[in-house]
């Protein structure tokens, strides 16, 4: 599932390609979007901006119209030049927004809707602070976490109403870097530990939205270890049974929650406390 860093990068790429340009063509397989386009045509509107909010991608058009998409497990946005061959089959296309210079295509996106700015504000007001936002408020997140005292910190990090942008990969990586057992409840965590988890989360996500020139690194893809070794991009996620990169102990893995998502951790480095 795309996490906050991936949505941020997608929004940044789309913004650079589309912002300020006039829409020449719009298509969608979603009847609700098509009806809006028929009543309030997208053609000749200007793409004002493309931004992310947690795991939501927001494409704003002139005339108070915003396209909200959520990728879920398999959705993605691609950018092409007019006439360029798509990397995915046409049957996977869900939304197409074309300008004179680029064609933006959403593949396998399951959730999409048009909203006004007022509707958007109401739609997203329940979201927690976005880890990648400039005005991120760590104290607010700590307060929100404290409202879930009996829940495991791993589950709390996935709650988008607490903090927006963390998915299953970063959940395990953040808690490893912070040295916190994923199954400790919030009530058993000190203020210092909660602050460390939140700071680690923000640092990890921000590091993964830097451009190659900013990192001065040739490495591509999500990384949390800061190692240039292509075989060691992550500390624990997906490494069940393999030796911990820090202490050598076998990495543990366990399915938890209603969605039976895998959590990875090192029992030696992340003591239960």
What number of CA atoms fall less than 13 Å from residue 121's CA on the CB side?
A: 4
Q: What is d(CA 158, CA 170) in angstroms, rounded to the nearest whole number? A: 9
Contact 132, 206 (CB under 8 A): yes
- Residue 205 tokens read as 């996500």
Which of 3-12, 58-67, 169-178 has the lowest average pLDDT?
Answer: 3-12
Is 212's pLDDT higher than 50?
Answer: no
Domain match, 108 and 187 both = no
- Set 41, 55, 119, 171: catalytic member: 55
In this structure, what CATH number is given to the domain that contains residue 80? 3.20.190.10
Is 272 within the bounds of a domain? no
Binned at pLDDT 50, 70 and 90, residue 217 comes out as very low
**Whether residue 142 sits in one domain with residue 116:** no
Domain stops at, among 124, 146, 164: 124
| Pair 69, 145 in one domain | no
The pLDDT, as a whole number, for residue 223 is 77
Q: How many domains does the chain have?
A: 2
Q: What is the pLDDT of residue 211?
A: 54
Q: Please answer whether residues 66 and 33 qualify as being in contact, where contact means their C-beta atoms are separated by less than 8 angstroms.
A: no
Whether residues 148 and 54 share a domain: the answer is no
Q: Which of 56, 89, 124 is the last residue of a domain?
A: 124
Q: Are residues 168 and 95 in the same domain?
A: no
For the chain, how far is it from start to end, CA to CA, in angstroms?
A: 31
What domain range includes position 25?
4-124
Cα separation, 63 vs 176, whole angstroms = 46
Exposure string for 190-217, b = 16+ CB within 10 A, e = fewer: eeebbbbbbebbbebbeebbeeeeeeee
In the prediction, which pLDDT does 46 show?
98
Asked whether residue 132 is assigned to any structural domain, the reply reads: no
Q: Is residue 273 part of a domain?
A: no
Say what the pTM is: 0.84
In this prediction, residue 214 carries a pLDDT of 37
Do residues 147 and 70 share a domain?
no
Going edge to edge, which strands form the sheet with 65-70? 47-53, 56-61, 65-70, 111-115
Residues 144 and 250 in one domain: yes
Domain check: are 100 and 54 in the same one? yes
- What is the per-residue pLDDT across 47-92, written as a single tens digit (0 to 9) for each? 999 999 998 999 999 999 999 999 887 899 999 999 999 999 999 9
Q: Give CA–CA dist 35/213, Å, rounded.
A: 43
Is 2 one of the catalytic residues? yes
Q: DSSP assignment, residue 187?
A: G
User: Which pLDDT value is given to residue 221?
Assistant: 60
Domain boundary among 124, 154, 173: 124
Q: What is the CATH number of the domain that holds 173?
A: 1.10.8.50
State yes or no: is 3 an active-site residue.
yes
Q: Which is the catalytic residue, given 3, 129, 171, 233?
A: 3
Residue range 252-272, pLDDT digits in tens: 999 987 677 899 999 999 977
Report the distance separating Cα 56 and Cα 74, nearest Å.
Answer: 14
Q: Note if 55 is an active site residue.
A: yes
């Amino acid at each position: 599932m795309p996490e906050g860093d991936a949505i941020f990068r997608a929004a940044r790429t789309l913004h650079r390609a589309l912002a300020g340009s006039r829409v020449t063509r719009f298509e969608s397989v979603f009847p609700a979007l098509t009806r809006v386009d028929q009543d309030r045509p997208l053609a000749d509107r200007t793409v004002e901006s493309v931004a992310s909010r947690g795991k939501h991608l927001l494409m704003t058009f002139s005339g108070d119209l915003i396209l909200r998409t959520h990728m879920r497990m398999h959705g993605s946005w691609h950018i092409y030049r007019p006439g360029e061959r798509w990397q995915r089959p046409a049957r996977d296309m869900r939304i197409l927004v074309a300008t004179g210079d680029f064609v933006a295509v959403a593949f396998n996106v399951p959730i999409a809707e048009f909203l006004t700015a007022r509707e958007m504000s109401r739609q997203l007001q329940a979201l927690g602070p976005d880890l990648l936002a400039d005005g991120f408020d760590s104290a607010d997140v700590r307060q929100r976490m404290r409202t879930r005292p009996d829940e495991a910190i791993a589950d709390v990090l996935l709650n988008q109403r607490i903090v927006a942008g963390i998915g299953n990969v970063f959940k395990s990586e953040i808690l490893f870097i912070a040295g916190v057992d994923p199954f400790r409840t919030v009530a058993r965590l000190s203020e210092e530990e909660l602050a460390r988890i939140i700071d680690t989360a923000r640092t990890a996500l921000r590091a993964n939205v830097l451009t190659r020139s900013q990192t001065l690194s040739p490495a591509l893809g999500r990384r949390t270890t800061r190692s240039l070794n292509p075989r060691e991009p992550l500390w624990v996620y997906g490494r069940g049974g393999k030796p911990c990169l820090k202490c050598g102990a076998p990495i543990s893995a366990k399915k938890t929650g209603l969605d039976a998502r895998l959590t990875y951790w090192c029992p030696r480095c992340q003591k239960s406390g």
